Amino acid sequence: MLFSVAFLVLWLLPMAYRGVTGNRQLIPAYPVFLRYLHVSSCLFTHRAGFWPVLYMQLQFSPSDHWTTLPDDPFFQMSPFGYRVRLDEFYRMKMYRYPLAREELARWIAGRYQQLHPHEAAPTGFRIVLGRYQSRSNVPPGQWTKPLMDAFSPEDLTILYTYQFQPAGDARE
């Protein structure tokens, strides 16, 4: 009985109050160590230093610049919230496996040629990781992928580069 009353008074009622009012501060006299029990962020003791943002790029001649591709034509479904399958590819560390990287590169190049049949075939593919600093001000509303130009050069890393060869062989 005592446990039930303590549970109700110390956890359930303050949690309901916070949920109904949206008040971030509970009661000023409420102990800090108990406040941590009312937020889901208490499950994560440290925040991530950055949010990974992935970009696909194609090159159309060996001396040409890299063209950043939009995600929408290649990943029309977002079964992972705002993230697409490329983000899951990164999260599951599939970029470490040469066969998975090659398959992704060939699929993106093939899909690009289907979407743009009158353009030149790509000669190179790469994945660039942008590190969106979590200390940055997050714009209100739904998350949208920032443009690659918004990142400083220090916050961009090339994860993988694949060069297509005319004979079918490829170099990494």
Parse the chain into domains and list their residue ranges. Answer: 2-43, 50-171
If pLDDT is split at 50, 70 and 90, which confidence band does 168 have?
very low
How far apart CA 52 and CA 15 sit, in angstroms, is: 32
- Span 21-36, mean pLDDT? 64
- Cα 145 to Cα 132: distance, rounded to the nearest angstrom: 10
Helix, strand, or coil here: 13? helix
Helix or strand or coil: residue 91?
Answer: helix
126-151: average pLDDT: 78
Prediction pTM value: 0.66
> Which range, of 49-58, 68-77, 110-119, 144-153, averages the lowest pLDDT?
68-77
A 10 A CB-CB count for 86 gives 19
Paired tokens of 141: 């509303």
Instruction: Give, in order, the Cα–Cα distances in Å from 121 to each of 54, 72, 100.
Output: 22, 20, 21
> With 80 as the cut, is the pLDDT of residue 31 above it?
no
The answer, yes or no, to whether residue 172 has pLDDT greater than 60, is no
Rounded to the nearest integer, the mean pLDDT of the chain is: 77
pLDDT of residue 64 exceeding 50, the answer is yes
Of 9-23, 38-52, 105-119, highest mean pLDDT: 105-119
